[in-house]
Amino acid sequence: MTAWLRMGDGCLGCLPWPWPSKPHFDALEEKVEEVWRRVLALPPGGIRPEDSFLELGGESLLALRVCATLRYELGGEAEPDEDVAPGDEKAPQFGHVSGAFAVATLLAAPSFRAFCDGLRRGGYHVPGGGDGVPRQGPEQKHQAWPRLRSAARSRGPGAAAALAAELDAATPEDAQWWIGATARQGNAKAASFTALHAAAQANATECVQFLLERRARATTTEPGAAMTPLHYAAMASGAGALDLLLKAKAPLTVRDARGQSLLHAAARSGSAEALRRLLQAMKDSRSRGFLEWSDRWARSAVHWASLNGHSEVLKILLDAKKLLASCDTSLPSMGSSSGRFLVLLNSVAGAVQLTERTWASHVAGKTVFVNFHTEWCNHCKMLKPTWDKLANANFKFKEKGRKKSTLIASVDCSGEASRFCLEFGVDKFPTLKYGNPYDLDDYAGKKELRDLENFVTSQLLPVCTVDDQRHCSAAEKARIKDFQMKSIPDLDKIVEQLAEERKSVETEFSLFKGNLLGTLTKAGQQKDKDVSAASAEQKEKIETEFRRFVDGLTEQHNAKEEEKNVALAKLKSKGLGLARNVQANRKPRPEL
């Protein structure tokens, strides 16, 4: 697979390649599976008959979309409005939704197949879609997992022994896969709802303890919203399972695909006991900023507690915020509602941590190499030790004074700070950028320490800045002088216009790349279908044609990327970085 298909440090949106085979469903189940996958953003084959909507990352808002769509698709609602295009997902109609399409019915269904059976009992079917009798498929041979999942949710004396018996009866590979201790061979990045998820969800402390002793991983994510067992424990009634996971050194900073933290999970479900345990753990670890973390909808834990009517949880959160505000603020902050943080300077191990507040003071006259990261990104955590070693490396530059003008830094984009990172075009993590601190370029090289060190010594060259004009050309010096003569409103307009042009170029390329990726995904799905029904000779031909198709897409991508780079180079020559530098120098710099 070519390099451009990679997204961050994963490939093709972290979907397994090739995609997993799809279970055999009847017409009704295929329709329901299609809607579930669309709403939950799951890959083909990502839904098994025994999976429940909640286990796949569903929630009440997503359940409403599913129910409203199915109510129309299965003939339970009038024709859509004329302005709804064919193939578009129908917007949810807020109002009374009852019977088989009630949100509560979907959320309470123990499995995908059980929900579909409920629709059949209600007399619903796909028009012209057959008799609704489930087809036999390979998944029907695997009844061990539903039994094991049920055992993992059991509580009381003997629960762990019953779970152990189910695991011992399974093959070693299946047992390790089901408890989340390992991934399937050849599919290391595939997510899975594990027995530890189920035990945490049920607050089954005996089973959680047993699974942890069996080396089950507390950070394994399920395939829907990428929730960990910690999230399910935070949503459970009681904090026993959560306490065991935290004592096992499970990280407090995990987030799911929606950007929701453990506090979000507890606040949404109304689990007061779990919330108190989380706040105590955060206090013990001297962590700050968790209360202000926002999810993809810009909602904090306080928002969710209020929206869902959990008054006790809301009071706990507000009291915690009040107490935090009255405490000594000398500790380093991991986030704040204003998006401004105290700088963390670690001269022994670690890069300089910059924020919106401290950026201008630290980058003045520097050529920078910056790691934009978040606390919930696993790839960011993997890169951190390497990045800290890079920052502490004793570089020997040939040019005099170059060491002092080079800055290796990091920016935490968690919470409100994400707005600051967006100003640099950062939309995935980790993102490495370098060069002029006010007009950064993307680093596209490898992230091994040796490669990063070679880049710093050979390519991270001094740039022209307002604070250090030794490396400026005559044209650049003239442009700086021109910007300095502008009034503040006029300079702001220039910066805004150039920034908008740059954003337009980058957005156009991102959309093109996204469309290309979508085309590849659909083609890959079709290829898999064709291969499954083809003879050995035909399979080879199909694979060859698909590789040729991918090569064609790669050529399109490379041409578009070159076009983007030319456009960005023209914008750079107009002085966007220098204009921003002058603009920043006119603002008062805070005392550090």
Q: Which two tokens stand for residue 324?
A: 């935090």
Q: Does 163 share its domain with 279? A: yes
Q: Does 207 share its domain with 65? A: no
Give the CA distances from residue 297 to residues 5, 13, 303, 485, in Å, rounded to whole numbers and listed in that order: 27, 21, 10, 42
Residue 163 lies in a domain: yes
Say whether pLDDT at 129 is over 80.
no
DSSP letters spanning 264-322: HHHHHHT-HHHHHHHHHHHHHTT---GGG---TTS--HHHHHHHTT-HHHHHHHHHHHH
Q: Which long-range contacts (CB under 8 A, 24 or more apart) does 504-509 make?
A: 505/564, 505/567, 505/568, 505/571, 506/425, 506/564, 506/568, 508/564, 509/560, 509/561, 509/564
Last residue within a domain, chosen from 77, 112, 139? 139
Q: Does 238 share its domain with 216? A: yes
In this prediction the pTM is 0.42
Q: Which two tokens stand for residue 400?
A: 């005099």
Q: Does 188 share its domain with 312? A: yes
Q: Does 298 share its domain with 444? A: no
Residue 1 lies in a domain: no
Q: Does 310 share its domain with 440? A: no
Q: Which two tokens stand for residue 569?
A: 């180079």
Please list, residue by residue across 493-514, b when 16 or more beta carbons sit within 10 angstroms of its beta carbon and e when fewer do: ebbeebbebbeebbeebeebbe
Q: Which two tokens stand for residue 361?
A: 């003071």
Q: Does 81 share its domain with 228? A: no
Mean pLDDT computed over 10-16: 33
DSSP single-letter state for residue 71? H
Q: Does 456 share its domain with 502? A: no
Which residue in this structure is represented by tokens 């035909």? 538
| Contact in structure between 379 and 429 (CB atoms under 8 Å) | yes
pLDDT higher for 192 or 67? 67
Say whether pLDDT at 340 is over 50.
no
Q: If we measure between CA atoms, which residue out of 378, 431, 447, 448 comes closest to residue 189? A: 378
Q: How confident is the model at residue 588 (pLDDT cuts 50, 70, 90)?
A: low
3-state SS, one letter per residue, for 407-464? EEEEEECCHHHHHHHHCCCCCCCCEEEEEECCEEEECCCCCCHHHHHHHHHHCCCCCC
Q: What is the pLDDT of residues 21-73, one digit of tens each?
A: 455 688 888 889 888 888 876 666 668 888 888 777 777 778 888 888 888 77
Q: What's the domain range around 401?
A: 352-463
Q: Does 119 share its domain with 147? A: no
The mean pLDDT value of the chain amounts to 77
Pairing of strands 406-412, 367-373: parallel
Last residue within a domain, chosen from 139, 164, 197? 139
Domain count within the chain: 4
pLDDT of residue 528: 83
Q: In CATH, what number is assigned to the domain containing residue 93?
A: 1.10.1200.10
Q: Does 123 share its domain with 156? A: no
The upper half-sphere exposure of residue 498, i.e. CA atoms within 13 Å in the direction of its Cβ, equals 21
Q: What is the pLDDT of residues 380-429, one digit of tens each?
A: 888 988 998 898 888 877 777 677 788 999 999 987 778 888 888 887 88
Residue 69 lies in a domain: yes
Spatial separation of the C-alpha atoms in residues 516 and 520, rounded to whole Å: 6
Mean pLDDT computed over 125-137: 48
Spatial separation of the C-alpha atoms in residues 384 and 390, rounded to whole Å: 10
pLDDT of residue 289: 62
Q: In CATH, what number is assigned to the domain containing residue 225?
A: 1.25.40.20
